[in-house]
Amino acid sequence: MGLSLVVLVVAGAIVARPLYVALATHTVRNRMTGQTRHFEDGLHAYLCGTGSPIADAERAGPCIAVVAGRHRYVVDAGEGSARNIQLGGLNMGKVEAILLTHFHSDHIADLGEMMLQHWAGGSNAQPTPVIGPEGVEQVVEGFNIAYRLDTGYRVAHHGPTTLPPTGAGGIAEPLVLGKEENASVVVMDKDGLRITAFKVDHRPVVPAVGYRFDYKGRSIVISGDTAYSPSLLEHSKGADLLFHDALNRGMVQLINENAHLSGSPSLGQITHDIPSYHASPEDAARIANSAGVRHLVYYHVIPPLPNRIVKYMFVGDARRYYKGPITVGSDGMLFSLPANSTEIIRKNLLK
């Protein structure tokens, strides 16, 4: 009986091994061919991070990848967002630049990893352009220093042909903005794509900016972090999509009232302070309405939303102020705006 069982197990293993290999090969090939996703001509926005500094198992830190024709950009580099970029099939090696809205830690935490993936993912011989407000030079220099040893290890291991040493790290490109509250500057304008950076109100963080992308009759606006901002309203006019950060003040107040239970000596003060420099869902709705935006999407969601009921409550009274479609963004959402049309297509790349 024992010998028969052994024979059956061995025979099963012999038969099963080719099946295992075939399944593994199929899985690997699917993953490899999905490393660079194809996008139809138009303007696309992928939410690679919709969370905040408050830990949320469902959300990486703030990050939106934008594809316009053959051009690819990433706006902000929140913690965990670099992994979501990979999982969504957006090869960082093909990204032209990383655009930063400001330098709070939750917006730059994955910058080093993104610069590494840009270098290693494309064997790029030039460092990653990192565009942002004044101060971006200091941020990029810090990450370059922190990754310098890692760079040496990787070149030594894989060779300079695979990883050209000149392509490691990033190169800062500071924005030059005027003193006006609504000051703006064109970041790039070619191949039908125009990117505009404009001031927003995230005081005491100065300057902080949002970005507008216009391409073949379609447009999206990304707020970055801001309180209600007339400048954002001005630069959002007629946009197809407005991605706006949002903080539900009632929910944050509830956290504040119970902060003493956390054991953190700072949580009470922090949750008292943060509503002053973030817009509420209602604030964002007012902006969307006044600007004539076609679709409002919340990202950089504060606080975390553990279930559908809380998610519904998060929107608050926003629908009183804006009658267009409102979406509470989640990681993996892709919004596609085909060129020269009015269509907005939504799907999730992580599900």
Please give the Cα distance from 27 to 21 (Å, whole number). 10
CB-neighbour burial class of residue 248 (10 A; exposed 0-12, middle 13-18, buried 19+): buried
Distance CA 335, CA 44 (A): 6
Q: Which of 15, 75, 4, 22 is nearest to 46 (CA)?
A: 75
Of 56, 76, 106, 225, which one is the catalytic site residue?
A: 106
- What b-and-e string marks burial along 285-301, b requiring 16 or more CB atoms within 10 Å of the CB? bbbbbebebbbbbbbbb
Phi, psi of 180 (to 5 degrees): -65, 150
Task: Please state, in angstroms and rounded to a whole number, the distance separating the CA atoms of residues 241 and 261.
Answer: 40
Q: What angle do CA 204, 210, 211 make, to 5 degrees?
A: 160
What whole-number distance in Å separates Cα of residue 149 and Cα of residue 143? Answer: 11
Q: Rounded to an integer, what distance in angstroms lies between the CA atom of residue 198 and that of residue 211?
A: 6
Distance CA 111, CA 79 (A): 9
Residues 296 and 279 sit within 8 Å (Cβ to Cβ): no
The secondary structure of residue 263, as a DSSP letter, is T
41 in active site: no
CA-wise closest residue to 94 among 77, 112, 69: 69
Distance CA 148, CA 167 (A): 12
Bridge partners of 66, per DSSP, are 45, 73
SS3 142: helix
**Rounded distance, CA 96 to CA 82, Å?**
15
Residues assigned a catalytic role = 106
